[in-house]
Structure formats: structure tokens, C-alpha cells
């Protein structure tokens, strides 16, 4: 799969479709990538096809009402645009977004300052304020990461130590949980944001905004790599729905190796980022505002 970053594609036809699925107030474009697919797989064989292009979008969607199922909206947009747009959306209510901005949301501040505004109903969304910088903020980020990393190691260890007779479907589920925990930790370290959607492709896509670690897991040209990635993404469904022949031990072992590499690389990346954050949040002149605010409420 080939990717190319784009900035000037016309997305006006997407906004009415999005508004038909939710009472949208504001939409920001976080990222846009054009993908081109030139092959498919049938019976384990790679078959060349006519190139198919698709716009892969990351959107912040602020709505008047809570969106109960973001995945439903993403699938609906994919179907309604006949596969032209694949949308990974982050959803907040207007009230929730304003509350987070008022109390200091690093993630929302960056989106509102740096990302492209696609749609706005009115001026009710607050303007971004300065980011909170204080040793307690760093401590919260570091604690969050350490918890996620411990959970990732726990699930990975349980997957590797599966007793005989082992279930590879069960192993894939444990490995999926391990990768999800590492992704959630990275997203919080880099964005100070906790997603409300935990599908593995969604989390990997968010991680692509600040690192290339998802490439470790993304399928390459071989059918086997596509098979392993699919098993990881659909681990829960396969475990609950499939009762026939188990997946191959060789593929499950490959998934173990990829998961180990991903968590190891995630740990190194997070440690580098945490060193940067520690220096930033321990700068003396940046601590007073947070001290004045946290005695009445806690930061996001």
C-alpha cells in the first residue's frame, strides 16, 4: 500500500453526510492521507488489480449530543462515499469540549491552534488557552504510561505462556490486549488524550499521528502478514464466533514476535518523550497557574 500526504483535497461533500449522522457543531481535520491499493488476495495468492485510491481522514467532531457508537458513523461514511473516504473520528460534545478547554486540555488546544477547520455552526466553541505545565501534570502522564506498560507486559506474558492444549484464538486476544494497552499509553503520553473507542485499527491510526510504530504490525506484501494482522484485529470476534479449526501455530508465533517488537519500541519511544516532558513541566516559571487552579478542581 502506497501513501502520500495531501492537504488540499475537497472535503465539502463529506460534511453534509457527517451532519446527517449526528448533530454536528464543529469539525477539524487532524490528518489526511491518500492511499493506493494495487493488489488483493484470493486463496492465499496475490492478485494485481486496477489501482484503487482512498482518502484516509482523522477528524475531531464536536456535536451537540453524545455519539453512542463512533464506529457506526465511520462505517456509514465509508459506505455512503462508496469507499472514497475512510474516516477515523474523535467525538466530543460541545459542552464536554468547552469544559476541557477551560480546565486546560493539551490535546484540544493543539487541535484548535494547528489543525484545519472544516465546519463550524457558530462561535460557541471556546478558544484554546495555554497548556498546563507543572510537575503534577508530568507525574500524571508518567503514572498513566507506567500503568499501561505494566498491563501490556502482563497480557503479552500470558499469551506467550499459554498452557497446552493452547488456543491460538485465545492467544491472539491476549496479544491484541497487549498492543491496545501500549497504544493507549502512547496516545496519552503524546496527546494527553484517552480515546473512547478501543478498536485496534483505530488506535494504531491515532498512533500514526506521532510515530511510525504501527508499521511493525501493518501487513506487508505477503498473504501471511495480512492473515496475522487480520487475526489480531478480529481476535475477540474470532474467539467468540469461531469453533472450527484453530489458527496455525506458526502464525500465532509470528504475532507474538510482532507484539514483542511493538511493545519494546513503544517503551523506548515513550521514555524519550517522557524525558522531554519532564524537562518542560519542571521549568519553574511555568508552575504558578496550575497550582492556583488544582486546589479547586483537577485537570483533565
Last residue of one domain, picked from the residues 120, 147, 169: 120
In a shared domain, residues 90 and 187: no
In a shared domain, residues 143 and 276: yes
Burial status of residue 54 (CB atoms within 10 A of its CB: 0-12, 13-18, 19 or more): middle
Query: How many separate domains does the chain show?
Result: 2
Confidence (pLDDT) at 284: 65
In a shared domain, residues 108 and 172: no
User: Would the pLDDT of 20 be above 90?
Assistant: yes
**Which residues form the domain of 174?**
135-284
The pTM of the full predicted model, rounded to 2 decimals, is 0.86
In a shared domain, residues 279 and 164: yes
75 in a structural domain: yes
Last residue of one domain, picked from the residues 71, 97, 120: 120
Confidence (pLDDT) at 41: 54
| Rounded Cα–Cα distance for residues 167 and 239 (Å) | 9
220 in a structural domain: yes
In a shared domain, residues 87 and 37: yes
Q: How confident is the model at residue 23 (pLDDT cuts 50, 70, 90)?
A: very high
In a shared domain, residues 172 and 197: yes
Q: How confident is the model at residue 294 (pLDDT cuts 50, 70, 90)?
A: very low
Confidence (pLDDT) at 270: 98
For residue 13, what is its C-alpha cell? Answer: 461533500
In a shared domain, residues 73 and 168: no
In a shared domain, residues 87 and 218: no
In a shared domain, residues 90 and 188: no
In a shared domain, residues 99 and 239: no
**Average confidence score pLDDT of the chain:** 86
| Better pLDDT: 286 or 190 | 190
Confidence (pLDDT) at 93: 96
Most confident of 43-57, 86-100, 124-138, 233-247: 86-100
Q: What are phi and psi of 199, to 5 degrees?
A: -60, 135
Q: How confident is the model at residue 127 (pLDDT cuts 50, 70, 90)?
A: confident
Q: What is the CATH number of the domain that holds 235?
A: 1.20.120.330
291 in a structural domain: no
Of 7-11, 76-80, 183-187, where does mean pLDDT reach its minimum?
7-11
293 in a structural domain: no
List the one residue out of 62, 68, 124 whose CA is nearest residue 93: 62
Amino acid at each position: 500500500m502506497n501513501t502520500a500526504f495531501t492537504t488540499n483535497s475537497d472535503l465539502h461533500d463529506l460534511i453534509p453526510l457527517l451532519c446527517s449522522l449526528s448533530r454536528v457543531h464543529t469539525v477539524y481535520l487532524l490528518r489526511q492521507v491518500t492511499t493506493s491499493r494495487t493488489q488483493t488476495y484470493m486463496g492465499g495468492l496475490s492478485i494485481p488489480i486496477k489501482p484503487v485510491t482512498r482518502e484516509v481522514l482523522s477528524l475531531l467532531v464536536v456535536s451537540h449530543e453524545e455519539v453512542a457508537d463512533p464506529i457506526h458513523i465511520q462505517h456509514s461514511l465509508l459506505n455512503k462515499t462508496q469507499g472514497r473516504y475512510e474516516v477515523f473520528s474523535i467525538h466530543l460534545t460541545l459542552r464536554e469540549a468547552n469544559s476541557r478547554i477551560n480546565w486546560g486540555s493539551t490535546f484540544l488546544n493543539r487541535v484548535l491552534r494547528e489543525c484545519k477547520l472544516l465546519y463550524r455552526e457558530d462561535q460557541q466553541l471556546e478558544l484554546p488557552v495555554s497548556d498546563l505545565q507543572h510537575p503534577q501534570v508530568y507525574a500524571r502522564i508518567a503514572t498513566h504510561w507506567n500503568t499501561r506498560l505494566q498491563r501490556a507486559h502482563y497480557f503479552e506474558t500470558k499469551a506467550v505462556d499459554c498452557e497446552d492444549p493452547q488456543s491460538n484464538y485465545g492467544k491472539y486476544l491476549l496479544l491484541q490486549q497487549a498492543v491496545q494497552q501500549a497504544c493507549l499509553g502512547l496516545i496519552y503520553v503524546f496527546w494527553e488524550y484517552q480515546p473512547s473507542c478501543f478498536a485496534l485499527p483505530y488506535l494504531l491510526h491515532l498512533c500514526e499521528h506521532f510515530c511510525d510504530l504501527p508499521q511493525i504490525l501493518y501487513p506487508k506484501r505477503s498473504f501471511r502478514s495480512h492473515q496475522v494482522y487480520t487475526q489480531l484485529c478480529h481476535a475477540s470476534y474470532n474467539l467468540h464466533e469461531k469453533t472450527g479449526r484453530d489458527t496455525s501455530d506458526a502464525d500465532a508465533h509470528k504475532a507474538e514476535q510482532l507484539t514483542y517488537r511493538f511493545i519494546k519500541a513503544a517503551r523506548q519511544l515513550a521514555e524519550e518523550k517522557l524525558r522531554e516532558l519532564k524537562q518542560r513541566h519542571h521549568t519553574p516559571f511555568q508552575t504558578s497557574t496550575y497550582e492556583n487552579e488544582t486546589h479547586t478542581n483537577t485537570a483533565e
